[in-house]
Amino acid sequence: MRLLEYEAKELFRNFGIPVPNGAVVKSPAEIALAIERVGLPLVVKAQVPVGGRGKAGGIKLAYSFEEAVREAENLLYSSLKGHTVRYVLLEKQLKIAKEYYLGVTIDQSAGKPVVMLSTEGGMDVEEIAKKKPESLISKRVEMSRGFYEFEARGMCKQLGLEGSLLVKVSETLRKLYEVFIKYDAIIAEINPLAITENGEVFAADAKIEIDDDALFRQTSLNIKPEERVEDPLKAEAIKIGVTYVRLDGDIGVIGSGAGLTMATIDIINDFGGKASNFLETGGGITEQLMYNAVKLLVKDERLKALFINLYGGINPMVQAANGIAKAYRELKVTIPILVKLVGNEQEKAWEILENAGIPVIKSIRTEDAVERLMKIIEGF
Ligand code: GDP
Ligand code: MN
């Protein structure tokens, strides 16, 4: 879950990372007061959970009151990079002399955090690595040991920093690591760290992405993921506890397990069809969960069929069948539905589905089921 810039900056502020003076607005009525509080000139920044806002027109410099109002009003509720701008951050404009890059992320191959520093900020880290690799240094951290000030200073020295700039940048880098650990982040980034004309240092931008699997224990953040996603089906999926990804086809897919679901989507493709989604139940199927999953997908008006592919290892197949049958009856599903189900108590589960009038494929091969599915769709 990616935080918005102003949220990430709030965490930075709590950790003593210098951030520019700013105020966030969520309605036009709040703009004038915010400008007065922040002071001119300022930067008007669209708050969307993606990078590259500058290039996409989401970051505007304003020098007069009128200009600031106009830019803020224009950005508010606009669409930027596929996201609706619900918040605009007004921030004191910095006189930037130099932009640095500071980042902490997970080095997947080492399974350890890696701290990165570059004197060429402003562009993204992949681009820095390609264009100015000599300006970028990184250091893996032993989590049990932590990341120390002297190590941060060493990194700064390697890039030729000295004096008070070295002290400020290294302190910021160490604090960024602290934020990263404290909030179970998978990325914490300051890009750019603005070095002003009079030698001050500010986080001009802030990116924090929290590990979704750790959100439950990050209670101080008070984040409800389902309130942050714009696709209503995706929001519902988070609520009911299934993994959902929207795709651009018209065959709804529910699978018990990520591998099975992906294979199912591939096989549908092989038979000339296209899945409308990836929906994976995980290992916690109950009657209610299955009911909810069917209910979620049949809301999608693109659907011309629904295919459910289940394997009962730890998942109880009888409960799954009961949930599907209940949804089929109560929701009055009008599109064709086909279930392939094998595993524990399969005979009982088949019976439940067949009694509900739902066609069941009893083969272990998903190909057999998809072949049948395509015929059902053709004949429908
Ligand atoms: P991003 O494009 O989504 O990464 O958004 P940023 O917050 O990084 O802003 C993009 C660029 O706008 C930065 O790299 C800066 O060059 C510029 N910018 C941001 N804040 C200020 C500011 O206070 N003063 C000036 N002069 N430029 C700024
Ligand atoms: Mn940036």
Give the 3-state secondary structure of residue 40: coil
Is residue 193 lining ligand 1, measured as CB closer than 6 Å? no
Give the pLDDT of residue 226.
81
Query: Which DSSP letter does residue 54 get?
Result: T
Q: For the domain made up of 21-92, give the CATH fold.
A: Dna Ligase; domain 1 (3.30.1490)
Atom number of ligand 1 nearest to Cα 122 = 14
Overall average pLDDT of the 93-112 stretch = 97
- CATH fit for domain 96-221, picks 3.30.470.20, 3.40.50.170, 2.60.120.10, 3.30.450.40: 3.30.470.20
Overall average pLDDT of the 4-15 stretch = 97
pLDDT-above-70 percentage for the chain: 100
Say which range, 73-77, 329-333, 340-344, 368-372, has the weakest mean pLDDT.
Answer: 329-333
Tens of pLDDT, residues 283-301:
999 999 999 999 999 999 9
Higher-confidence residue of 26 and 223: namely: 26
Spatial separation of the C-alpha atoms in residues 261 and 266, rounded to whole Å: 9
Please compute Rg for the chain using Cα positions. 26
Give the pLDDT of residue 231.
87
Tell whether pTM > 0.85.
no
Can you read off the two tokens belonging to residue 93? 């404009």
**Are 72 and 61 within 8 A, CB to CB?**
no
Tens of pLDDT, residues 311-343:
999 999 999 999 999 999 999 899 999 999 999
Q: Which ligand is the nearest neighbour of the Cα of 89?
A: 1
Is residue 257 lining ligand 1, measured as CB closer than 6 Å? no
Residue of the CA atom closest to atom 7 of ligand 1: 205
CA 51 to ligand 2 centroid distance, Å: 6
CA 178 to ligand 1 centroid distance, Å: 24
Is residue 53 lining ligand 1, measured as CB closer than 6 Å? yes
Give the pLDDT of residue 222.
84
The answer, yes or no, to whether residue 242 has pLDDT greater than 80, is: yes
Give the 3-state secondary structure of residue 280: strand
Q: Which residues of 25-64 are buried (b: 16+ CB within 10 A; e: fewer)?
A: beeeebbeebbeebeeebbbbbbbbebebeeeebbbebee
Say which range, 73-82, 104-113, 220-229, has the weakest mean pLDDT.
Answer: 220-229
Cα–Cα–Cα angle for 34, 39, 45, nearest 5°? 60
Domain 230-379, CATH? 3.40.50.261
169 strand-pairing partners: none
Instruction: Band the pLDDT of 229: cuts 50, 70, 90.
Output: confident
Overall average pLDDT of the 156-178 stretch = 98
Atom number of ligand 1 nearest to Cα 205 = 7
The answer, yes or no, to whether residue 213 has pLDDT greater than 90, is: no
The answer, yes or no, to whether residue 212 has pLDDT greater than 90, is: no
Spatial separation of the C-alpha atoms in residues 188 and 106, rounded to whole Å: 10
Higher-confidence residue of 266 and 1: namely: 266
pLDDT-above-90 percentage for the chain: 94
Which residue from 151, 149, 107 is spatially nearest to 125, judged by alpha carbons?
A: 107
The answer, yes or no, to whether residue 380 has pLDDT greater than 80, is: no
CA 229 to ligand 1 centroid distance, Å: 25
The mean of the pLDDT values for the chain is 96
Say which range, 108-117, 215-224, 262-271, has the weakest mean pLDDT.
Answer: 215-224
β pairing state of 337-343 and 360-361: parallel
Q: How far is CA 355 from the centre of its chain?
A: 41
Tens of pLDDT, residues 130-149:
999 999 999 999 999 999 99
- For the chain, the domains span 21-92, 96-221, 230-379
246 strand-pairing partners: 277
The answer, yes or no, to whether residue 362 has pLDDT greater than 90, is: yes
Spatial separation of the C-alpha atoms in residues 80 and 72, rounded to whole Å: 13
Which residue from 345, 338, 356 is spatially nearest to 311, judged by alpha carbons?
A: 345
Query: Which DSSP letter does residue 50 get?
Result: S
Is residue 205 lining ligand 1, measured as CB closer than 6 Å? yes
Query: Which amino acid does the sequence have at 350?
Result: W
Cα–Cα–Cα angle for 96, 98, 100, nearest 5°? 115
β pairing state of 251-255 and 305-312: parallel
CA 144 to ligand 1 centroid distance, Å: 35
- 189 assigned to active site: yes
Atom number of ligand 1 nearest to Cα 45 = 7
Residue of the CA atom closest to atom 18 of ligand 1: 204
Which residue from 262, 337, 269, 333 is spatially nearest to 305, judged by alpha carbons?
A: 337
Tens of pLDDT, residues 176-200:
999 999 999 999 999 999 999 999 9
360 strand-pairing partners: 339
Which of 59, 83, 127, 191 for a ligand 1 pocket mutation test, highest count of atoms within 8 Å of Cβ?
59
Atom number of ligand 1 nearest to Cα 91 = 23
The one catalytic residue in 71, 189, 280, 287 is 189
Give the 3-state secondary structure of residue 136: strand
CA 42 to ligand 1 centroid distance, Å: 11
Which residue from 49, 15, 53, 3 is spatially nearest to 185, judged by alpha carbons?
A: 3
Give the 3-state secondary structure of residue 122: coil
The one catalytic residue in 6, 87, 101, 183 is 101
Instruction: Band the pLDDT of 369: cuts 50, 70, 90.
Output: very high
Which residue from 145, 209, 204, 203 is spatially nearest to 183, judged by alpha carbons?
A: 209
